[in-house]
Structures are given as C-alpha cells and as structure tokens.
Amino acid sequence: MTFFGSIADDFTGATDLAALLSRSGVAVSLRIGVPQSPPEATAGLEIIALKIRTAPVDEAVAQAREALAWLRAAGAQRFFWKYCSTFDSTPQGNIGPVAEALMADLGTAQTIYCPAFPENGRSVFMGHLFVGEALLSDSPMKDHPLTPMRDANLLRLLQPQVRGKVGLAPRSVVAQGAKALAARLAGLDAAHVVVDAVNGQDLAVIAEACQDMALMTGGSAVAMALPRLWQARGLVGQARTAVAKAAEGPALVLSGSCSAMTNLQVADYLGRGHPGYRLDPLALMDGPGAALDWLAAQSGAPLIYATAEPEAVKSAQSALGTARAGALVEEALAAVATFARDRGTRRFVVAGGETSGAVASALGIDRLDIGPEIAPGVPWCFATSGGHPIAITLKSGNFGGPAFFTQSLELLDR
C-alpha cells in the first residue's frame, strides 16, 4: 500500500528523489509518466516522473493533477511536488501553479517550498537561493538556455506564479527546531511558505515539522528524512526487496553524455581494458549497423559511447546541426540497447539525461523499482523489458566519480 506519492517535473529529478528516499530502506517505485492502468502492486513510496518543467502552464497543471489522482487511487496520504534545487522555472513558471492546483485538489490551505540541497551546495537563507557561495542569479543558472534564473529571491519568483499569499519561515526559526517551525507556519497568514535551510539538520527539522502536511514541495533533499519519520510511526513499513539477482546476465555500458565527468568515466573504463566502440555522429547517418555488428562479436561488459570532448562535439554539431547530431546518437544508442537486450544483455549502465530517456523508452520501461545507490543520486533500478527482468542505472551528465561504470557493475555482483 502506498503512503507517499511524489510528482517530479523531470526524469533525472525523479531518479534523484528516488535515490534519496530509498536510503530509508523503504520500497520506492518510479513511474515514467502517469501509468495508463489503475494502481496495482504499488510500493510504499511512489514517484511519477513527468516532463513538465518548461511545458505550457495549463499542460503542466493538467498532467500533475492526473498524476495526483493516480497516486490517491494508490492509497497515498502525503504528497510531494518535486522540482529542481535551482528552482528552475520559466517566467510564466510552473512551480507555483502546479502547487496551487494540487493544494486545491487535496483541499489543503498551506504548503512549503524548500529547494535546498546542502549536500550539493544549494541552500536557502532569508528566502534567497544560493548555489555554493553565490546567489542563484550570479551562478551559471543565470544563462541556462531554457530557464535562466535572474533573481535569487524565492518569494519574488513565486508570488507572480500564485494567487495566494507568499510568506517566509526564516532560518532563525528553523534553527529553534520542529515545534518552533510548526508554530510559525500555523501563525503565518500565507498559503505558500518559503522555508530556509542551509544544512542537513535544518532539513531534518523541516521534515519533522511538516510530516503531516498533505502537500510539501521542494528539491529532493527536504523529502529525504520523511520515510524514517513515518516508519517510526508505523505508517510505512514495506522494505525494499533484493531483486538484483533476477537481473542476472551480461552487462553493457551506453554513454551519450559529453559532460566533463562522463568523459573521465569513459576514459577510466577503457583504461581498465574493457572493449569500447566509439559512435561518430557523421557515420551514424548510415544507421547503427556497424555498432551492432561490433557488439555481436564482444564478450565481457563492453562500452558503446558517443562521449567526446567539446571540440569534437562542436564539429559534429556544425556538420549536422545540434538537434540532428543529438538525435542520431540517441537513436543509435536506443537501437543498440534493444539489440543487446534481445541477445541476452540484462544489465545496462546508461550515461546522459536525454540519453537515459531515449534508452528507457526504447526498452519499453514504464516502471523502475529502486535498488542500491551507486553514487549520490544515482541508484540501480530494476525493471521489466521485453518480458525480461533487467537492471538499469540512468546517470545524468555530471553525476558519479571517474570509476562510476566499474563501481556500478561491481555493486550488482556484491
């Protein structure tokens, strides 16, 4: 039976939340999109990953409400609206409207907003969001192509997005503990309360004070302490099952991320003597056949990658156009994944956010059960693909350390 239902505004944000919730040992299941069938065999903690961060407001609200209805049908009694720890939203903004719609459906008068993720350098003080030591508006997020963040004041960002009043619960109150925070929230004449947090202790206080709110909103970190609080009260219990054994079989590493960290990870993996095949976007105009032929002749845990240094990426992009180069790579990696699965591969390590989406959808995955965490925010997941149990990890660009690929595979063998 589900107790906690979360709605995430993008896919890697959902896996990040899944990994943090899963640290409690409670079963976590992640759905890609709102399931088409009614809830069945659900986990104690259910997450629905949507792709609505930059969608038109009406569409984002409609999808979030549909997800909420499914989670309520699954039995959930507490809800979480998960967005990015850098509060990514367009000027029209989906964070506030979605929160307000969920509040209306749940019949609740107040919610909190806490994007803080101190472990990753995101903190909130006096309602201002910091990335490391810089205000959000002075961080690289100010130049984000889709959601440039030019203001760090969360109250000012939120107020135009909502009809209700916006208020602040400052650090000075949070530092006094859960009772003081609960009293402040009860005394504030505000439907939408931004709550300060600069460290893990603050997040624990917020979770304790807000554990019985129908709806909380924030980054993944503020939700992390919730499962254990509920476990202590007997509200969630179902433990994560060890399903790793079911996904016995050969492994394959697929990398379509060109981030600095992924470049290191590819180099590290090849340096350990694993077979590798580099995809050249220009050559992919003839299709992925050559890569499939190569893969068919391999044993061990091969790597197929388009990962390249910025210069090579630029030259492919100027020859093909950015979108076409990306699409050729994503289509090829997706084709490789299904080919490998049909030939018996059961363990997949995938690097790249967009790449992960392409591979997961090619493999026909709509539900992931969350397993052990490999690196902060990156868990092994278990799923069914083409009727076979598989293990898959989906890593966005900069996550994990240089030896991530090796560590992933070693963790499954343990």
Which residues would be at the binding site for ligand ADP (CB under 6 A)?
Answer: 256-259, 262, 281, 306, 308, 312-313, 316-317, 325-326, 329-330, 352-355, 396-397
Give the nearer residue to ligand ADP in terms of CB position, either 118 or 256: 256
Nearest CB to ligand ADP, comparing residues 175 and 312: 312
Write down the residue that tokens 């307000």 correspond to: 100
Distance CA 310, CA 146 (A): 20
CA distance 218 to 239: 25
Q: Closest approach of Cβ 201 to ligand ADP, in Å?
A: 31
Task: Quote the tokens at residue 32.
Answer: 């890609």
Q: Is residue 213 a contact partner of residue 102, using CB atoms and an 8 Å limit?
A: no
- Cβ proximity to ligand ADP: between 253 and 313 the closer is 313
Please say which residue, 194 or 284, places its beta carbon nearer to ligand ADP. Answer: 284
Q: How far is the CB of 249 from ligand ADP (least distance, A)?
A: 25
Shortest CB 260 distance to ligand ADP, Å: 9
Min CB(359)–ligand ADP separation in Å: 9
- Least distance from ligand ADP to the Cβ atom of residue 30, Å: 17
Of 19 and 45, CB closest to ligand ADP: 19
Provide CB contacts within 8 A for 345, sequence distance 6+: 249, 250, 251, 252
Rank residues 353 and 377 by Cβ distance to ligand ADP and give the closer one.
353
Closest C-alpha among 117, 127, 139 to residue 172 = 127
* CB of residue 311 to ligand ADP, shortest distance in Å: 10
Q: Output 89 or 257, the one with its CB closest to ligand ADP.
A: 257
SS3 label, residue 73: helix
Q: What is the rounded distance in angstroms from the CA atom of residue 66 to the CA atom of residue 84?
A: 21
For ligand ADP, the closer CB: 2 or 255:
255
Helix, strand, or coil here: 239?
Answer: strand
At closest approach, how far in Å is the CB of 297 from ligand ADP? 23
Radius of gyration of the chain (CA): 21
In the chain, the amino acid numbered 158 is: L
Torsion from C-alpha of 193, 199, 205, 206, nearest 10 degrees: 30
Q: How far is the CB of 399 from ligand ADP (least distance, A)?
A: 8
Closest contact distance (angstroms) between CB of 317 and ligand ADP is 5
Dihedrals phi, psi of 300, to nearest 5 degrees: 75, -150
Residue 86 CB, nearest approach to ligand ADP (Å): 15
| Smaller CB separation from ligand ADP, 117 or 230 | 117
**349 SS3 class:** strand
Distances (CA, A) of 201 to 84, 147, 174: 20, 30, 9
DSSP class of residue 283 equals G
Nearest Cα to Cα of residue 65 among 28, 93, 99: 99
Of 196 and 330, CB closest to ligand ADP: 330
DSSP of 290-343, one letter per residue? HHHHHHHT--SS-EEE----HHHHHHHHHHH-HHHHHHHHHHHHHHHHHHHHHT
